[in-house]
Structure 1
Amino acid sequence: MFEGFDPVVLARLQFAFTVSFHIIFPAFSIGLASYLAVLEGLFLATGKAVYMDVFRYWVKIFAVVFGMGVVSGIVMSYQFGTNWSVFSDKTGPVLGPLMAYEVLSAFFLEAGFLGIMLFGQKKVGLVLHFLATAIVALGTFFSAFWILSVNSWMHTPAGYGINEVGQFIPLDWWAIVFNPSFPYRLVHMVLAAYLTTAFIVGAVGAFHLLRNRHNGQARIMFSMALWMATVVAPLQIVAGDMHGVNTLEHQPAKIAAMEGHFETNTEGPMPLTLFGIPNMAEGRTDYAVEVPYLGSLILTHSLDGQVKGLKDFPREDWPNATIVFWTFRLMVGIGFAMLGIGVWSLVKRVRGTLYESPWLKRAMIAMGPMGFVAVLAGWITTEIGRQPFTVYGLLRTAESHSPIAAAAVGTSLLAFIVVYFLLFGAGTFYILRLMSREPTPFEEHRPPHHPIRSAGITPAPALKLSGLPDPAE
């Protein structure tokens, strides 16, 4: 059935398929865990039960998302041994300990305190339960820290040596962990997770406000999500610019592919190509729509900065410009759309009409899943832009593959497609069902003996005295 297929291509497709399913769940759980910690902290600080209403609404969804992320991640780890054994052998001395640190520091925190977060509120009390929630959020951050350190090292390897059998060995762990691109990737990914979560939460809030504009819990979701969009979207654009400058320094061929830039601008400033069709065969971008000077200004922060074109690199080292050109623009376009939603909501908030505009709510619903699309587009840009290497400039993808037949890889790929769509399709359907349920006041289903009632919490004046706005306002 798979005779004539390249097993390396099939293995890449299999890994791309599984990682595309996996990445959306950690991106959601990282942001959602932090959101839950903020909600519970606000409840303790203000005594407003509405924050606990929203917490209880989203904690059920978090449990499902977290579980699906764990399951999809386990599958990926096995592929390193089955399809990419040469890569595992050569990079294992460096990347193996980093993956172990992720399990020891991140997963143990998440798994150890997740049960308390989900089921322990009546057992441990409010303050300890809040600490458990905060530790779970911290665990998700540590997970992102180690995984992005591993991935970043593959893009910008540092602190390594090569032994007599061709393995990468650690020489400087600080240089390995904090490799040149890691800080930029970490900030960019964590902010992306927060924005992704914010727009999902805001979309759910907007959906319920369109059905009942007086729903207090939906108002909290809608307002807090739009605060996040207003504050974080511009920060993400700045972080993305810094990441781009770093990539230009360490992976200039990737930048050239992202920009559809084939010829080095030796006699003038580089324009910014807004749209076009990169033609890999001819070495040019057809039907290019360009803005003069802007390419040099964005990438080099000067009007006449020189940027290498793809033709300055060996043809066999070119990434696929046709793909990364468009995935990069998709990611950036969604980022600016998020910024636009944030600015729009700020204007409405200042005018006191945040909850009155049905078009803002509809726009928020339409933008709800766009965070996931942006994350996937950014991930595709990053990983295809690294090709044809698994360890940039040092180990080629074609040299990293296991000696396995195309039929075996193709059959397992088909099995993954069937199982993933059935399993994760059902999980996603259940999550959407949970989101479709209208959030209800906590007082209506809280038993009299619940520790929150007996705690006698009253609204704390600290937030008002500090001059900070209430997120619900």
Structure 2
Amino acid sequence: MDLDALVLSRLQFAWVIAWHILLPAFTVGLACYIATLEVLWWITQREVYLRLSAFWIKLFAVSFGMGVVSGIVMPFQFGTNWSRFADATFNVVGALMAYEVLTAFFLEAAFLGILLFGRRLVPQWAHVVSALLVALGTLLSSFWILGVNSWMQTPRGHELVDGRFMPQDMLAVLFTPSFPYRLTHNVFAFLITTGFVVLAVGAGYLRRGRHVEESRVMVKMSLGFLSVMVPLQIVAGDLHGLNTLEHQPAKVAAMEGLWETQRRVPASLFAIPDAEAETNHFEIAIPALGSLYLTHDLDGEVKGLKEWPREDRPPVAIVYFAFRVMVGIGVLMLGIVVAGWVQHWRGRLMQPGRFLRVAEWSGPLGFVAVLAGWTVTEVGRQPWVVYGLMRTRDAVSPTLTAGDVSLSLAAYMLSYLVIFGGGFMLLRRLVLIGPQPATGAEVHETEARPKRPLSAVTDTPATARRVEEAGDAA
């Protein structure tokens, strides 16, 4: 493969977005978790919820800052590396991204300051509201960004005028056929990612006998939440797969490594796809099972990759293996949840042992699954940047050279390694410190304590002397 400007630009965008997506995968769910803790603290006045909220707010602040820094360079790439894409799609994509800034980013930015620094400056209800609005802002951001991506995957609501996409119906542009499934699947993935991070941190503390009360709450809350969300995610993923089969059948064929159109499609567990020979090597498969989960019909027909010209097929091996990583992690997550309930029924959930060790090491699972799912979605769309309408090779900036992109790619790689390396070390340090005891200010003394009378300001001898001297002067 020649490393020309197109390939290098794709590598650069993949590098930037692969690091950046780790932050929304964490902060969307974490903002919702913090809001839940704030509401529980407000209702119950149990200080354990206050300590946990204050602890996770620190991690959220660092992650949010890293997300802003890593995400702000992404729009610049549309102008530097993908100017023809920006020119052709600006009227559609630009509007949706502007809505994201106006409704989501501004909302997060406005109330994040109150969430971080306002606990002793505003009433408790106002702090709770700020946590809820920050969580809403993260969800709105996902809504608009996934709206853009869904339009690129299943474009609707536009017309082509002189090579440019002009919106005709903005509701149709936003609510494309894949949008509800993509939004649900991604948001669930983000929430589950945070759930496993919380479970891992709580399990780690329990194994070491630290912050026992806080870690017991974290393990119970995360396990209960994951018990609902992991099965729901499996259902959402299945529905998303049915939608993809309808609107992007070539992507599904690549996910399954399926070359021939057939009924009773086998479920390929492992294979080495060979795009040149149009076959799979060393394949292990279960007969007919593929048709059942792809079409919900044991005799269902699925199109093979040979239905499309070679130049219209996605890179099969990348999509095939990324899909199996995503599904495999999903099955592993379900197994961890089941194991947790088995330990709970045995009365050993909070006891140091094998389950807590596995739970502690499960923290990165969600991030890996998100990256694998993103790879399936984006690489599976190739060779199209706007599916079926605009090829990726036609979207790259015309004057770019391989040397230009090589230089910027090297700069991005170095800077992101520094940013994320430093950020990870800071997050690790905060986790090692753990939740701290609540101070008087943090339990809202300003609400609990009655206002002092005006005469109280003269309680100190110095103040009383100044008052007396002022009276003599008068």
Q: Which TM-score band applies after superposition, normalised by the shorter structure? A: over 0.9
1:102 alignment partner in structure 2: 100
Report the AA paired with residue 209 of structure 2: N
1:364 alignment partner in structure 2: 359
2:445 alignment partner in structure 1: 451
2:74 alignment partner in structure 1: 76
3-state DSSP of counterpart to 2:265: coil
- 1:355 and 1:338, CA in 2 relative to 1: closer, same or farther beyond 3 A? same
Q: Quote the Cα distance in structure 2 between the aligned partners of 1:81 and 1:241.
A: 36
Q: Select the structure of larger CA radius of gyration.
A: 2
3-state DSSP of counterpart to 2:268: strand
Listed as ranges, the matches of 1:119-134 within 5 Å are 119-134=117-132
Correspondence 1:421 to 2:417: yes
1:52 alignment partner in structure 2: 50
Correspondence 1:181 to 2:189: no
Deviations 1:77-119 (A, max 9, x none): 1000000000000011111000000000000100000000111
2:426 alignment partner in structure 1: 430
Report the AA paired with residue 105 of structure 2: F
Deviations 1:186-214 (A, max 9, x none): 00111101110011111111111111067
Tell me if structure 2 keeps the 8 A contact 1:126–1:452: no
Residue correspondences, number: 449
3-state DSSP of counterpart to 1:36: helix
Report the AA paired with residue 243 of structure 2: N
Shift of 1:63: 0.3
TM-score, normalized by length of structure 2? Answer: 0.92
1:306 alignment partner in structure 2: 301
Shift of 1:294: 0.8
Report the AA paired with residue 68 of structure 2: V
3-state DSSP of counterpart to 1:277: strand
Tell me if structure 1 keeps the 8 A contact 2:55–2:434: no
Shift of 1:424: 1.6
Q: Quote the Cα distance in structure 2 between the aligned partners of 1:115 and 1:438.
A: 22
Shift of 1:224: 1.1
1:208 alignment partner in structure 2: 205
Q: Quote the Cα distance in structure 2 between the aligned partners of 1:363 and 1:286.
A: 34
Correspondence 1:379 to 2:403: no
Q: Quote the Cα distance in structure 1 between the aligned partners of 2:210 and 2:420.
A: 32
Q: Quote the Cα distance in structure 2 between the aligned partners of 1:431 and 1:455.
A: 35
Correspondence 1:401 to 2:399: no
Q: Quote the Cα distance in structure 1 between the aligned partners of 2:387 and 2:31.
A: 33
Q: Quote the Cα distance in structure 2 between the aligned partners of 1:336 and 1:198.
A: 16
Correspondence 1:280 to 2:280: no
Deviations 1:338-392 (A, max 9, x none): 1111111122223332102521111111111111000001001110000001000
Shift of 1:394: 0.4
Shift of 1:429: 1.0
Candidates 332, 336, 341, aligned match of 1:337 = 332
Tell me if structure 2 keeps the 8 A contact 1:271–1:294: yes
Instruction: Provide structure 1 residue ranges, at least 5 long, that are not aligned to the other structure.
Output: 457-473
TM-score, normalized by length of structure 1? Answer: 0.93
3-state DSSP of counterpart to 2:14: helix
Runs of 4+ in structure 1 displaced over 4 angstroms?
none
2:29 alignment partner in structure 1: 31
Q: Quote the Cα distance in structure 1 between the aligned partners of 2:120 and 2:207.
A: 34
Shift of 1:5: 2.9
